[in-house]
Amino acid sequence: MNLVSLAEIAAAADRIRGVARRTPMVEVAPPTGELPIWLKCENLQAAGAFKIRGAYNTLAQLDAKARDQGVITYSSGNHAQAVALAARVLGVPATVVMPTTAPRIKIEGAREFGAEVLFEGTTSHERGRRAEAEAVARQLTLVQPFDHEWIVAGQGTVGRELLEQCPTVATVVVPVGGGGLAAGLSAAIKLAKPEVRVVGVEPVGAATMTASLEAGQPVTLEKVSSLADGLLPVRPGDLTFAHMQRFVDEIVTVDDRSIAEAVVWLYRRAKLVVEPSGAASVAAVRQMGAGVARPVVAILSGGNMAPETLATCVELAS
């Protein structure tokens, strides 16, 4: 299996320039005695998450026939919005399959960018099967949410930017769902600066990549559950697993209470709106404490959070 190269990530960076934002890095030094954390603010990205990087890098490489016929994808929300936005920019018809439990803010976001939204089940496997069936029936191009080299290369631009913005970084902590972000980011960092430590983070109730790495191959969990709705695939991708196996130093797990506390901490201390999936990295840094090598950068992967989710986090963290 071919892993993405620095050249492919550099090409993706050129391709997405002017569509994806170069998101800021913010250092937060809490007044409570905790050590400072650098934050890579993909919550401020176009469509509210890092996903536009891989989505646009993919759609921009489709041929004219595929663009004319349209694309379809499946997602818990952020990838759906990213594909919808990329499709709107390129003039491509887009359909997205989302779970019946998808947050309203993410459903409305996909529709506002012009996508047709379909609903299927509650797991990534269920919506993936529906998207595959619709792609065949309607002759649409299926855009994978994470397990494709164009997606991984696009997400790798986060790591490329990070090294430019914080060249002395010692540790990078990144949320892991299907693994597209962690795969691309870890490749970008390790191929350029192998001494930097890359740590992946999963929810305790959805530790799919952890189980897969322990088994030595991708495995499917019977069920997953977490406040972090963007980190709930039941199985990692084959390509993303291979990248994680090669480039990621460690995976840690965090519980929902810790994630909720991180959401509230970011809102109150950093004045940033970060959804639970995106705040998992900060939860892990706080959990690791003084033992983590610094400077440490936490990737805030998304900020599409409804007010009621913030309220839930405040209640859970109290």
> Has residue 1 been placed in a domain?
no
Which domain does 113 fall in, by range?
52-142
- Boundary residue ending a domain (117, 142, 167): 142
- Based on the domain organization, do 40 and 59 belong to the same domain? no
Query: For residue 76, what pLDDT is reported?
Result: 85
- Based on the domain organization, do 76 and 135 belong to the same domain? yes
Distance CA 308, CA 42 (A): 21
Per-residue confidence in pLDDT tens, the chain, 318 aa: 799 999 999 999 999 999 999 999 999 976 666 788 999 999 999 999 999 999 999 999 999 999 999 999 999 899 999 999 999 999 999 999 999 999 899 999 999 999 999 999 988 889 999 999 999 999 999 999 999 999 999 999 999 999 999 999 999 999 999 999 999 999 999 999 999 999 999 999 999 999 999 999 999 999 999 999 999 999 999 999 999 999 999 999 999 999 999 999 999 999 999 999 999 999 999 999 888 999 999 999 999 999 999 999 999 999
- Boundary residue ending a domain (142, 165, 188): 142
- Based on the domain organization, do 127 and 169 belong to the same domain? no
- Based on the domain organization, do 238 and 99 belong to the same domain? no
Query: For residue 31, what pLDDT is reported?
Result: 61
Work out whether strand 296-300 and strand 71-74 pair parallel, antiparallel, or are unpaired.
Answer: unpaired
- Based on the domain organization, do 100 and 220 belong to the same domain? no
Query: For residue 123, what pLDDT is reported?
Result: 86
Place of tokens 């960076």: 13
> Has residue 69 been placed in a domain?
yes
Q: Which long-range contacts (CB under 8 A, 24 or more apart) does 26-34 make?
A: 26/270, 26/272, 28/269, 28/270, 30/265, 30/269, 34/286
In the chain, how many domains are there? 2
pTM of the model: 0.95
Distance CA 62, CA 175 (A): 28
Place of tokens 């929810």: 203
- Based on the domain organization, do 189 and 60 belong to the same domain? no
CA terminus-to-terminus distance, the chain: 46
Cβ count near 30 (within 10 Å)? 14
- Boundary residue ending a domain (114, 142, 170): 142
- Based on the domain organization, do 108 and 163 belong to the same domain? no
Query: For residue 291, what pLDDT is reported?
Result: 86
Q: Give 316's contacts (C-beta < 8 A, 6+ positions apart).
A: 227, 256, 257, 260
- Based on the domain organization, do 190 and 135 belong to the same domain? no
- Based on the domain organization, do 295 and 261 belong to the same domain? yes
**264, 309 contact by CB (below 8 A):** no
